Structures are given as C-alpha cells and as structure tokens.
Amino acid sequence: MNTDLTQPTQQAGHALVTGANKGLGFETARRLGELGYTVFLGSRDEQRGKEAAAALADSGSDIVVVPLDVASDESVAEALRIVGERTDRLDVLVNNAGAPGHMVHPGQATPEELHGVYDVNVYGPVRVTNAFLPLLEAADNPRVVMVSSGIGSFTVTAGDEYRLPLHEFAYSSSKAALNMITVRYAQAYPGIKFNAITPGEVANGKFAATDMNQHRGQLTAAEGSDPIVERATLGADGPTGTFIDRLGPVGW
C-alpha cells in the first residue's frame, strides 16, 4: 500500500467527526469547517456538542450537532438518520472518539476493563464506519481517518527506546487492534481511503495535550490534528492503508 505523504487538498463536502466537542475532535471540526466542509459534530453529550458548535459559529462554519455515543448501536443509527436527512453522501469520516481506560498492570487487568475501552476504541469505529458505508460509497472521493496512537504501534512499543512507566494495557492494545482494522478496511474497500494517524511526533516522543492525558502533551490539540486534517483532505490520488503522525509515516 502507498505510504507516501501528500499535501492536503482543500475541497468542499460533508464530514462527520466523532468525539468532536473538545480536544482533537474539536480542532478537526474547526479546521474542516474553515476549509468549507459541512461538519457533523458528533458528541456523546448533546449539550457539550451545542456549546462546541456555538464556539465555532463565529468562524462562519456550517456545523450540525449530532448526538453520538459510538458505544451504542441505537445512538449510531440515530446519528445516521440525522446525517442522512441532510446529505446523501459523506465525504469524510473521522473516527476520533476514544476512551483511555485506567493505568492497570497487565496482571491486574480484567476482561471488564478491556471491554469498556474496546467498546469505544475498537467496536465504536466499526459501528460508525459500517453504519455510514452507504453514504461514504456514494461520495466521489471518500476518506476515513482512524485516530490511533503511537503506543498502538508494535514498532514503537516493542522498541528498545520505549520506556513509558505506566500501564495502559487496555488502551495500547485497543489502538493496535484499530490499526489492524484500518488495514483490513482499506483492503476490503479500495474505493474508500482508510488511514490511521497518531496525533503526535513519534520520533521526538511528543504527543498532543488533551483531557485524556491530563494535558501533559508537548503539542497543542491543533498541532495534534495536523495528520487528521491531512488525511481527511486527501485528493483522489492519495494513499490508503497508511499510519502517520504529523512528521510522516509511522511503523506498524
């Protein structure tokens, strides 16, 4: 599969961003709105979604709040209904919503702990992607971006330089699963560009500051959204089945 980076291409269309009421999702919604997209702002909490949309109103972006809990089949079905009432195609899907889980030593991890994280980080993107496949396939150049993590990379976590002194057992394994899912979708749907990103700089050990990591990151959420927007705005000749950060390709 092609792993070359390409320059973002501005193009109007419709985009759905999950978990978009704050952090990376909010910055992605803001930037896509500024590029002329109608943005469906997915938010598990509808009120927080409305507040986020209000914060974007001054930029003149076309924002539609979509109550969306990616861990709920019923919520995803309702989100599809809302989006489907406004457009017959979806150009961009950003599966951004995520759950961090707890810092649990592998020896103390339980199936329940893993299930709660996987329900959002793995099953969530599958629920949303599969529900919106008909709208994606109706678009001329559909793109799906999976927001993964550098610690979901075997290359990174098995490397000699990886020394994170915390146990994110559920989170890291869920993102590794998401990476594989991305590749398999890309292979199954050659007409849709499926790409995974990590919102950081793996080579420099930097990651974006968000609520999920108590804002300990060295990059802003806007900087972290760089690879999301880059892959969300690919032209028709852009790559599929890749994993990148804001500096370039990342090893699986």
From the list 182, 96, 132, the residue with the least C-alpha distance to 14 is 132
168 pairs with which residues across the strands?
Answer: 104
Query: Sorting pLDDT into bands at 50, 70 and 90, what band is 58?
Result: confident
pLDDT in the model for residue 35:
95
Give the tens place of pLDDT for each residue, 202-242.
Answer: 878 776 767 666 666 577 888 989 999 999 999 999 999 99
Query: Sorting pLDDT into bands at 50, 70 and 90, what band is 158?
Result: confident
Residue 9 above 70 pLDDT? no
Residue 209 Rama label (left phi>0; alpha psi -120 to 50; beta): beta
For 13-249, the fitting CATH number among 3.40.50.720, 2.50.20.10, 3.40.50.970, 3.30.470.20 is 3.40.50.720
Q: d(Cα 23, Cα 202) in Å, to the nearest integer?
A: 19
Residue 23 Rama label (left phi>0; alpha psi -120 to 50; beta): left
Question: Which residues participate in catalysis according to the annotation?
Answer: 171, 175
- Give the sign of the dihedral formed by CA 87, CA 235, CA 189, CA 231: negative
Give the tens place of pLDDT for each residue, 60-94.
Answer: 889 999 999 999 999 999 999 999 999 999 999 99
Fill in the DSSP letter of residue 210.
Answer: -
Q: d(Cα 50, Cα 174) in Å, to the nearest integer?
A: 29
Q: d(Cα 165, Cα 169) in Å, to the nearest integer?
A: 12
